[in-house]
Structure 1
């Protein structure tokens, strides 16, 4: 099994190599990169390319590692015992399987996405070390040990919001998704907006790259935001000439798709003001 990308996902050679290396080593693939560079979508496309089902575990700030294994619903069991429910005699009725358990118990090999692992508490990655390493865990309430019938392809994403523990990093194959170059961006655009007129694409790409290179931006626009901007440009039927920045603000047309906070909008307005002063 070799991942090379799909007709819906342009995978640069280094990214495809990282995916295949992680599969060969049977280690989790830890993917970092700017938000909007396709980290989450990568797992979905790996699953589609290799013909595997996918299980997605989206981590939040309140997520605990135990939730990925299972949760014991003691409250429901107590309530049922008070109501005389016969299910109370079997504790297994109150065990809720987490995403890791589902992946381990799947009848075929699956892709397991652990999305935005850095959102959780710093202990979260460490708490999963043994389970991801040995591909098994113990259920204390029932006394059973759950082992992976088929070792899942594990893809873990991080937005670099916090440092991950060294012990966790040692067990992963790491890849950083760099921001795509102009040619790769054009290939990505062709996937999402096929047949785009070259002059319009060149004008949009030139404005987008120039905007990303402005010093002092708090949040540089991402690939996904560039695609959203192009979608609006096509919906408005704009010509290449329409994409020139407004001299009064130095902002491009429909800039709300690219700039997502008031500090960055104010930065361009400040640049426009300074340009006008220098032009006097």
Structure 2
């Protein structure tokens, strides 16, 4: 890496984008992680824009994004590389000349791809808490030293340019302390009414103010309903408002009374039968009191 390249990378700064509302504390967290050259660990409710943050950082800084989506079966080794010994054995039985070079049977993982990139990239490790509890610890050295060893070929893969690493977690399980020490941490709080209005306006700039106010008032009332199993998220309120516009509903159409406590088009907001039954019970109780 040349001195000029290092200087250009040090000058990188995220200030949000026209398509993504970044709060002051989130902006500070992103830039602190870049300055410290540490992974940014982002936690928060599902649907609060954790994954989208990485995409927006990539867009704002003009960097390519490499995404590694973690599943319950994902192993840390897959992020480095995988050696296909079975295919090599099969090819040797068929007399294929490719077996002479073991590199033909090495499949590069997302970390290898990020380390080997000719330019700085954004590496998203998405939903790390879905994997086994040992998964984060298995990546400690690689993310810390920005290199790893390929035993089959005897080569060391070093990052040409240190990627901006963003790691998301839905808090499904606790992450190891050793891993947390190596990250810059930020928790995305659920947006308040003012921030939510700004987010909605980004996606629906022509939304009538009265409809916006009525919809968000009802949305936050629903979120704060005692006993709700799954609170609707930012992404779900955006889907809901999109449906309100498609159906050409007016603020008056959103009113709820004792006969119907369920919100209009509630399938966009309530995602399980327990919560639907909760609002049906609330409606029944309201009707009983009105008699």
Q: Given the two structures, how large is their TM-score scaled by the length of structure 1?
A: 0.99
The alignment's C-alpha RMSD in Å is 0.7
Q: Is the CA contact 1:246–1:253 (under 8 Å) kept in the aligned structure 2?
A: no
Q: Does residue 165 of the first structure (1) align with residue 173 of the second (2)?
A: no
Shift of 1:279: 2.1
| 2:17 match: secondary structure | coil
Which digits, 9 at most, give the CA deviation of each residue in 1:157-180, with x for residues without a partner?
000000000000000000000011
- Of residues 172, 176, 188 in structure 1, which corresponds to 2:187? 176
Shift of 1:249: 3.4
Gaps of 5+ in 2: 1-11
Work out whether residues 114 and 163 of structure 2, in 8 Å CA contact, stay in contact via their aligned partners in 1.
Answer: yes
Map of 2:78 onto structure 1: 67
Alpha-carbon shift at residue 247 of structure 1 (Å): 3.0
- In the other structure, the counterpart of 1:200 is 211
Q: Which stretch has the larger CA shift, 187-196 or 40-49?
A: 187-196
Q: Distance in 2 between matches of 1:249 and 1:156?
A: 42
Aligned to 2:97: 86
Question: Which residue, 80, 99, 106 being the options, matches 2:117?
Answer: 106
Whole-Å separation in 2 of the counterparts to 1:245 and 1:129: 52
- For residues 15 and 214 of structure 2, the distance between their equivalents in structure 1, rounded to whole angstroms, comes to 30
Matched residue, 1:266: 277
The 2-side partners of 1:192 and 1:50 are apart by 21
Which deviations, in whole Å up to 9, do the C-alpha atoms of 1:81-111 show, x marking residues without a partner? 1111111000000000000000000000000
| Aligned-pair CA distance for 1:246 | 5.1
Q: Secondary structure at the match of 2:263?
A: coil
Alignment counterpart, residue 54 of structure 2, candidates 30, 43, 56: 43
The residue correspondences of 1:130-169 to structure 2 (distance < 5 A) are: 130-169=141-180
- Residue in 2 aligned with 1:217? 228
Post-superposition offset of 1:7: 1.1
Separation in structure 2 between the aligned mates of residue 124 and residue 273 of structure 1, nearest angstrom: 48
- C-alpha distance in 1 between matches for 2:251 and 2:231: 22
- TM-score where L is the length of structure 2: 0.95
Q: Is the 8 A contact 1:118 1:159 kept in 2?
A: yes
